[in-house]
Amino acid sequence: MDNAEHMHLIYVILAAAVATFLTRIGGYVMITQMKRIPPRMEAALNAVPAAVLSTLVAPAFLSGGWDVAVAMLVALAVGLRFSSLWMLLAGWLVVMAIRHLLV
Amino acid sequence: MAVVAPESFLHDKRRFLAGRTWRFSRHGVRVALRGTVHALAVDNGFSVFDAVFMSATVYAGASQMVGIELFGHNVQPWLIVLSVFAVNFRHILYSASIARHIRHFSGLQKFFAFFLLVDPQYAETEKRAERGEPVTFAWYLGFGLIIYLPWQLMTLLGAIFGQMIGDPKAIGLDVLLPIYFMGLVLGFRKRDNWLPVVAVSSLASIAAMHFVGSPWHVSIGAIAGILLAACLPLSKRHEEPVTLEHEV
């Protein structure tokens, strides 16, 4: 990459940083315009973590291949009783066993 | 801006340390995992400096990967920035939801708080508030830095040693991120309407992935679950005062 191209990349990165910061402050700016939070809005906000994080899990379950799906099911079972470190370990062991021992 | 009394500063300092060491291992796994992914950056024309510069300023892993990938394909700059915005759109929901817990931060503290608002930071702040523990700036910053600083280090190492890591699938790295997020989802299972929200968001995100495409499936799936929670009958808990519950 020459110098002009490199500066172009730096500008794109800075613009991406500003765009990201806007997403991180945007919700706060909107919500603080309101005097008080109605109960239904509060119920909606309480659902944010599970709702957003689920969308990062479900597609991977379907598109990751059957070995990933089996590993995620095992990790889910482990997660009902143990911490997420054990989930990661169990899922990783299962996927490694399938890939290197079975297939 | 509120003046911090000396004793509360000492108290905060302890919290800072607690925040730093707390569950270090779990986040260490995730940070290490993400670092390896930055190896890709070098293939797409990013120098080691560029990769670290992007991690330090954008600080949003998934969107960085999208940005790097698009830049490698010579896509127009505005489209790259718009894609980064779309991938990070979920942070608008985080920032609206976290407002209740960080209202007491000063302006400058809020600036840093929002800059550091990544997935684990958001999840742990919500959990801490749910346990009835105070969300102090010292705790928030302490927790934030143990993700931010190793993340920069791993980007540096990933960019330098990237070529040495072969196929991430062969060493099972691809399975770790979805399982990590699944662990975070499970962490909220005591909340009202957790199962219907998770079910609807999951199904909606899969449908959106199929019919609309990535990264919009995140926002569409999330909004489906959030709308459901707003429409379902409200629990009695909203009428009663909040009780402090300590869970392990």
- B80–A52 CB contact, under 8 Å: no
CB contacts < 8 A (A, B): 276
Q: Which of A20-34, B96-110, B133-147, B210-224 has the lowest mean pLDDT?
A: B210-224
Please check whether residue A91 lies inside any domain of the structure. yes
> Is there a domain that residue A94 lies in?
yes
CB-nearest to B183 from A17, A26, A87 is A87
- Asked whether residue A100 is domain-assigned, the answer is yes
Interatomic CA distance for residues B38 and A28, integer angstroms? 30
**Are residues A53 and A29 located together in one domain of the fold?**
no
Say whether both A93 and A57 belong to one domain: yes
Q: How confident is the model at residue B162 (pLDDT cuts 50, 70, 90)?
A: low
Instruction: Look at residues B141, B143, B149, B166 and name the one whose alpha carbon lies nearest to residue B55.
Output: B149
Contact assignment for B88 to A19 by CB distance below 8 Å: yes
List the single best residue of B185, B195, B198 to mutate versus A (max A Cβ within 10 A).
B185
Amino acid identity, position B211: F
Q: How close, in Å, is residue B89 to chain A by CA atoms?
A: 6
Distances (CA, A) of B9 to B2, B5, B110, B137, B164: 12, 6, 18, 11, 45
**pLDDT value, residue B19:** 47
Q: How many domains does chain A have?
A: 2
Identify whether residues A7 and A53 lie together within a single domain: no
Q: What is the mean pLDDT of chain B?
A: 78
Residue A74 has pLDDT above 50, yes or no: yes
Residue A53 Cα, gap to closest chain B Cα (Å): 6
Minimal C-alpha gap between A32 and chain B (Å): 8
pLDDT classification of B9: cutoffs 50, 70, 90: very low
* Whether residue A60 is found in the same domain as residue A24: no
Averaged pLDDT for residues B141-156: 92
The answer to whether the beta carbons of residues A95 and A68 sit under 8 Å apart is: yes
A4 within a domain of the structure (yes/no): yes
Residues of chain A found within 8 Å of residue B175, distances taken between Cβ atoms: 64, 68, 71-72, 91-92, 95
**Which among B58, B170, B232 has CB closest to A16?**
B58
Note whether residue A98 is domain-resident: yes
Q: Do residue A22 and residue A62 come from a single domain? A: no
Q: Which two tokens stand for residue B180?
A: 């990590």
Residues 6+ apart with CB under 8 A from B189: A50, B195
What is the Cα–Cα distance from B155 to A44, expressed in whole angstroms?
A: 35
A63 and A94 share a domain?
Answer: yes
Q: Do B193 and A43 touch (CB under 8 A)?
A: yes
pLDDT tens across B165-203, in order? 666 677 787 788 789 889 989 988 988 899 999 999 999
Q: How far is CA A7 from the centre of its chain?
A: 31
In a domain? residue A43: no
Residue A20 CA to residue B66 CA, distance in Å, equals 13
Which chain A residues contact residue B110 at CB under 8 A? 25, 28
Q: Is residue A42 packed enough to be buried (19+ CB in 10 Å), middle (13-18) or exposed (0-12)?
A: middle
pLDDT at B231 (0 to 100): 94
Cα separation, A74 vs A91, in Å, equals 6
Q: How confident is the model at residue B4 (pLDDT cuts 50, 70, 90)?
A: very low
pLDDT at residue B98, rounded to an integer: 94
Same-domain pairing of A91 and A66: yes
Domain span holding position A56: 48-103
Same domain flag for A27 and A54: no
Give the model's pLDDT for residue B242. 39
Give the C-alpha distances (Å, rounded to integers) separating A35 from A31, A38, B28, B102, B237. 9, 10, 40, 16, 21
Residue of A nearest to B168 (CA): A96
**CA nearest neighbour of A51 among B237, B226, B164:** B226
Same domain, A23 and A57: no
Is A62 a member of any domain?
yes
pLDDT score recorded for residue B39: 55
Which distant-in-sequence residues (6+ apart) come within 8 Å of B225 by Cβ? A47, A50, A51, A54, B197, B198, B200, B201, B204
- Chain B residue whose CA is closest to A42: B230
In this structure, the answer to whether residues A57 and A20 fall within a common structural domain is no
| Residue of A23, A63, A88 lying closest to B176 (CB–CB) | A88
> Mean per-residue pLDDT for B122-134?
93
Q: What was the pLDDT predicted at B154?
A: 85
Residue with more model confidence, B64 or B96: B96
Q: How confident is the model at residue B31 (pLDDT cuts 50, 70, 90)?
A: low
Specify whether the CB–CB gap between B220 and A51 falls below 8 A. Answer: no
Cα angle A14-A18-A24, degrees, rounded to a multiple of 5: 140
Per the structure block, which two tokens stand in for B222?
Answer: 């999330």
- For residue B186, list chain A residues with Cβ-Cβ distance below 8 A: 76, 79-80, 84
Rounded Cα–Cα distance for residues B248 and B246 (Å): 7
Distance from CA of B7 to the nearest CA of A (A): 30
B30 pLDDT band, cuts 50/70/90, is low
Residues of A in contact with B108 (CB under 8 A): none
- pLDDT for position B88: 86
Nearest neighbour of B201 by CB, restricted to A37, A42, A54: A54
Q: Which residues of A touch B187 (CB under 8 A)?
A: 84
Residue A66 has pLDDT above 90, yes or no: yes
Q: Which range has the worst mean pLDDT, A86-100, B168-182, B232-246?
A: B232-246
For A5, half-sphere exposure in the C-beta direction (CA atoms, 13 angstrom radius) is: 8
Per-residue pLDDT of A48-64, as tens digits, reads 888 988 988 999 899 88
Task: Please give the full DSSP string across B114-160, using - where no structure is assigned.
Answer: HHT--HHHHHHHHHHHHTT----HHHHHHHHHHHHHHHHHHHHHHHH
**Same-domain pairing of A52 and A95:** yes
Nearest to B186 among A22, A79, A99 (CB): A79
Distance between CA atoms of B204 and B206, rounded to whole angstroms? 5
Write out pLDDT tens, residues B36-73: 555 556 666 788 888 899 999 999 877 887 787 777 76
Q: Of A27-31, A81-85, B131-135, B165-169, which range is least confident?
A: B165-169
Mutate to test the interface with A, among B179, B192, B203 (most CBs of A within 10 A): B179
* Residue B28 confidence (pLDDT): 52
| Gap from B70 CA to chain A (nearest CA, Å) | 11
Q: Would the pLDDT of A36 be above 80? A: no
At B16-29, the pLDDT tens digits run: 544 444 444 445 55
Does residue A42 lie within any of the structural domains?
Answer: no
